[in-house]
Structure 1
């Protein structure tokens, strides 16, 4: 295995001046973000809510909220499936898509953000620096503070946590 392949530092930001492509583990789903502004500033979103943590299989979900028109998804083997998550704190559904072969989370969409897609950034070679964090009241006590992010107590766009 090429250990350099997975190291984000081996992928300079200039490599993605026109956009970036990532795949699920088995390679059947390919996602391309067509956005030359992807690394021109803080863009990412970390979510600490329990549903996003479960979907990510981690203590936080690294996301990018972007316009649907900037995203191209190729599902070459028909493995993209969607779980309709209705058990949300807002009561609004989140449609969570993943690869049905390897379980890799791919994207989420919600009626709360029309025209937007929430991409799961773990499939990409590099992740833009996060600009905001949601559900920071649900962070584990051992998590480090990420300086410079806008911190929402709960849902993004809601009440901010004063620093």
Structure 2
């Protein structure tokens, strides 16, 4: 039997002091985050909105909102495609970028966060502990709570965010 891959514990946070890189399933797209603070404190967020769940193919999406200039995306084989998602609560489009060969989600962009990208962290060998959880009202009743992660009823950022009790 071949050795199992993907155990994040095989990658100590100290391995990513300056940057963190991950790739899509077929290896065509590589994303590198150049940020020395990725593992110095909780970062990123979990999202339970239906669109993020669909893109992640799971009950939750692990995301990192970060400045676009800290991210490098290499599209070796030209497989990067973008879908304009207009089925959003705000009515503003979210541009969801993915690998057109394997379907791996890569990032999302929206006018709500100018100069930033929302990276889909499932492609990374290790994910920083999340700081926030969005759309907590949409969590399944069987999900456990995450210690140290603040949960918001819907939006986790912006002036109209409301923390869950």
Q: Which moved more, 1:108-117 or 1:147-156?
A: 147-156
How far is 1:148 from its partner? 1.6
Deviations 1:5-45 (A, max 9, x none): 31000000000001100000000000000000010000021
Partner in structure 1 of residue 70 of structure 2: 70
Alpha-carbon contact 2:34-2:71 (below 8 Å) kept: yes
Deviation, structure 1 residue 151: 1.5
Shift of 1:146: 1.0
Superposition RMSD in Å = 0.9
Name the counterpart of 1:48: 48
Give the TM-score, by structure 1 length. Answer: 0.96
**Which whole-Å CA distance do the structure 2 matches of 1:89 and 1:26 have between them?**
32
Q: Is 1:2–2:3 an aligned residue pair?
A: yes
3-state SS of paired residue (1:130): coil
TM-score normalised by length of structure 2: 0.95
Match of 1:14 in 2: 14
The alignment partner of 2:65 has SS state of: strand
- Distance in 2 of aligned mates of 1:92 and 1:2: 44
Would you say the 8 A contact 2:136–2:164 is kept in 1? no
The residue aligned with 1:94 is 94
Mapped partners of 1:73, 1:129: distance in 2: 23
Shift of 1:133: 0.5
Alpha-carbon distance, 1:162 to partner: 3.9
Q: Could you list the runs of 5+ residues in structure 1 that have no partner in the other structure?
A: none
2-side partners of 1:68 and 1:26: how far apart?
24
Confirm or deny: 8 A CA contact 2:32 2:71 kept in the other structure: yes
Partner residue of 2:58?
A: 58
Q: Which residue of 1 aligns with 2:123?
A: 123
User: Does the 8 Å contact 1:66/1:116 carry over to 2?
Assistant: yes
Q: Which runs of 5+ in 2 are unaligned?
A: none
1:108 maps to: 108
Say if 1:150 and 1:160, in contact at 8 Å, map to a contact too. Answer: no
Kept after mapping to 1: 8 A contact 2:18/2:36: yes
- Return the alpha-carbon distance in structure 2 between the equivalents of residues 130 and 43 of structure 1: 5
How far has the Cα of 1:123 moved from its partner?
Answer: 0.3
